[in-house]
Structure formats: structure tokens, C-alpha cells
């Protein structure tokens, strides 16, 4: 019976360690995603403010159209770039979350061997 109790304790400790590693990975990844989104939002706001200032300063219609076109092109490219970064961060989150589970799943699929 003592042997079974030790095995249960060991199993519980391993599961707790696995859960803590997984939680740490999730926390770190979500923090990185939040920082990236906040930085993008700040850059986007600054860029749109600068574009509006240029637009209001334009003396001719052609210049206003050029400023607007440049802004839309830059904003679109920035959005696509940011979406790719965020997608990569979420992919990393999934990988990091799964890492602590790999050993556990290997044990359970191999019958605990």
C-alpha cells in the first residue's frame, strides 16, 4: 500500500509540474501577444494622426489624394504584417502549451512504460 501511495504522490507531483509549466508558457505567450497588439494600436494611431495632419495641410486636391493613397497603402501593409506576427505568436502559444504535455501523453499511450 505504501508503494501505491508513493506512486500516487509522484504522479500528482508530475501532473502539477506539467500544469505549472503549461500555465507559465500560456502566461508568457499571452503577455507577448498583448504587448504586440498594444504596440500596433499605438503605431496605427500615430500613423493615422500624422496622415490626417498631412491631409489637412494639403493645398491641392492631387496632394490630398496622394497623401490618402499613401496612408491606405501603408496601413494595409502594416495590418497584414501585424496579422502575420500575431498569427505566429498564437502558433508559438499552441506549441509551448503542448510541450509539457508531450511526456505525459507519451507515458499514457505507451501504457505507462
Counted domains in the chain: 1
Coil, helix or strand for 112?
coil
Residue 111 has pLDDT above 70, yes or no: no
Residue 2: what pLDDT? Answer: 55
Residue 89, in any domain of the structure: yes
Residue 75, in any domain of the structure: yes
- Each residue of 48-107: pLDDT tens digit? 999 999 999 989 999 999 999 999 999 999 999 999 999 999 999 888 887 777 776 666
Confidence (pTM): 0.71
Residue 113 has pLDDT above 50, yes or no: no
| Contact in structure between 67 and 55 (CB atoms under 8 Å) | yes
Region 21-49: mean pLDDT is 92
- Which domain, by its residues, includes 77? 41-100
Amino acid at each position: 500500500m505504501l508503494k501505491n501511495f508513493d506512486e500516487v504522490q509522484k504522479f500528482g507531483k508530475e501532473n502539477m509540474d506539467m500544469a505549472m509549466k503549461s500555465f507559465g508558457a500560456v502566461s508568457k505567450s499571452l503577455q507577448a501577444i498583448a504587448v504586440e497588439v498594444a504596440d500596433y494600436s499605438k503605431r496605427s494611431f500615430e500613423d493615422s494622426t500624422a496622415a490626417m495632419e498631412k491631409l489637412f495641410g494639403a493645398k491641392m486636391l492631387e496632394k490630398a489624394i496622394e497623401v490618402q493613397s499613401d496612408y491606405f497603402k501603408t496601413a494595409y501593409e502594416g495590418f497584414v504584417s501585424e496579422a502575420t506576427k500575431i498569427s505566429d505568436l498564437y502558433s508559438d502559444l499552441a506549441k509551448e502549451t503542448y510541450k509539457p504535455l508531450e511526456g505525459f501523453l507519451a507515458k499514457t499511450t505507451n501504457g505507462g512504460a
